[in-house]
Structure 1
Amino acid sequence: MEVDLSTPPRRSGIRPTTTGREIPHDQLDQFSPPEIRAALVAQAQELPGVFTGPSQVSEPASLALRLREPRGPWAAFLHPSRDEFGHIHRSGFLHLTVPQRFIAPLTEAGWGEPHPITRRPEWPDSIVMLYAPRDADELDLAIAVLRASWQQATDPTE
C-alpha cells in the first residue's frame, strides 16, 4: 500500500497510553503482535547501509537502526549517537527522527507524538515516538515513516 505521509489516514481507535516523560518515554498499551514487529524489523534491516544492534541512546533491549555511512543533517540522528536514526522497542513502538514536514500530519492523524526531550534546545525537534503497528495496514504506514527517516539520515540535502 502506498502511503502519503503528508496526508496519512487517521489511525483507528484511541491513542495508546504513553508515559509522556522524557525518560523513559514508553508506550504502555496497544503493542505490536510478534509477527508484525518481526516484519518491521525485517524491513528495517533490508534498508541499504543499515545495521542493527543494541541502542546507543535507549534501553539495550531496543534494536538500534544505525547507518554505516551516515550523511544526513544533525536532526536526522538520535543524539549523542552520530549514526543511530531510530530504534524499535520490544513492544513494537519506535523512536526515530522524522522529516519535519511529516511530524504534524502524523501527530494529528494519531500515529505518534513528538518525544518530550525535543523541548530541550540541545535536541533536534525531529524525534518522534511512532506508535506500535497493530496490523498489516498499520505496518505499511510504519514502514513508510521508517523509510522517510532512513532517507533523511542518508541524504545530506534532506
Structure 2
Amino acid sequence: MSPLKLPTRVGVKPRTNPLPPHLQYDQYSPLEIYQSLADWMFNAFPKSREHKTLISVPSSRAMWLDENIKNTPRDGFMPPPTASREFAHLHKDGSIHVCLPQKDIDAVYDAKWGEPHPYKKHGVNEILVYAPQNKKEMETLKQVIVASYEYLTNEVYVPIYQ
C-alpha cells in the first residue's frame, strides 16, 4: 500500500503528557465528533471489534483484530505483543493511539497530525494522533485508522459501514 497522503494539520499542537498516560490536555474533540468517530471505528471493519484496552486508561476503547487473521506484522499491535490484538484505541479526548508502518508514521508526523509515544525509544510502535475538531479532521483520522487496518490484514479496506 502506498504511504498516507494527509492534509497538513492547521493550528498549534495540542498539549500532551510527555509520559504515560499519553493523552491530550486541550483541543478535545466535540462530543458529536467523538461519538461519530467511535461509531465508525467500532462498526466499519469486518475483521475487527471493540475490546477492552490492555494498555491504555480504562476509559479508552480499543480496536481488536480478529484472532483468525494470521501472518500479521510483529509491530502491528500494542504491548503486550504476545497477548494483544489491539492495534488502535480511542481516548475520551478524541485522540487515538495507533500502530502503523514507518512510511505512514512519517506521513502523520510530516502533516503535523501526531507525535511518538513516550516509550517509542523502548520499541513501542504506536503514535498519538491528535483529536479531530470537526468532520473534515475526522476524515483524516479515518484515513490513519484504515492504513493501520490494511497494514495488519494486508488487504485493501472495504467498508461495511460509512
Give the TM-score, by structure 1 length: 0.87
* Counterpart Cα distance in 2 of 1:141 and 1:49: 21
Q: Secondary structure at the match of 2:128?
A: strand
1:132 and 2:131 aligned:
yes
User: Residue in 2 aligned with 1:77?
Assistant: 77
| CA shift digits 1:24-74 (9 cap, x unpaired) | 111111011111111111221221121113211111110011012343211
Q: Which residue of the partner structure matches residue 110 of structure 1?
A: 112
User: Does the residue aligned with 1:113 lie in a helix, a strand or coil?
Assistant: strand
Please name the residue that 1:89 is paired with.
Answer: 91
Could you tell me how far apart the structure 1 residues matched to 2:84 and 2:154 are? 14
- 2:41 partner SS: helix
- Cα drift, residue 82 of structure 1: 2.5
Q: 2:119 aligns to what SS in structure 1?
A: helix
Pair 1:6–1:64, CA change in 2 (3 A): closer
Of the three residues 13, 25, 31, the one matched with 2:11 is 13
1:54 maps to 52
Specify every segment of 5 or more residues in structure 1 that has no aligned partner in the other structure, as ranges.
none
8 Å CA contact 1:5, 1:145 repeated in 2? no
Which residue number corresponds to residue 160 of structure 2?
none
Please state how far the C-alpha of 1:5 moved relative to its aligned partner. Answer: 5.4
Q: Which runs of 4+ in 1 moved over 4 A?
A: none
Residue identity in the other structure for 1:55: T
Shift in CA distance, 143/105, structure 1 to aligned 2, threshold 3 Å: same
CA distance in 1, matches of 2:4, 2:151: 15
The CA distance in 2 between the partners of 1:44 and 1:7, in whole Å, is: 20
Alpha-carbon distance in structure 2 between the residues aligned to 1:140 and 1:131? 13
Report the TM-score when normalising by structure 2: 0.85
Q: Considering only aligned residues, what root-mean-square deviation do their CA atoms show, in Å? A: 1.7
Matched, 1:68 2:54: no
Any gaps of 5 or more consecutive residues in structure 2? 156-162
- Taking the aligned partners of 1:19 and 1:88, their CA distance within structure 2 comes to 16
Contact 2:4 2:143 in 1 (8 A): no
Secondary structure at the counterpart of residue 147 of structure 2 = helix
How many positions carry a matched residue from both structures? 149
Give identity over the alignment, percent.
Answer: 33
In structure 2, the residue corresponding to 1:134 is in which secondary structure?
A: coil
Q: How has the CA–CA distance of structure 1 residues 116 and 60 changed in structure 2, closer, same or farther, with 3 Å as cutoff?
A: same
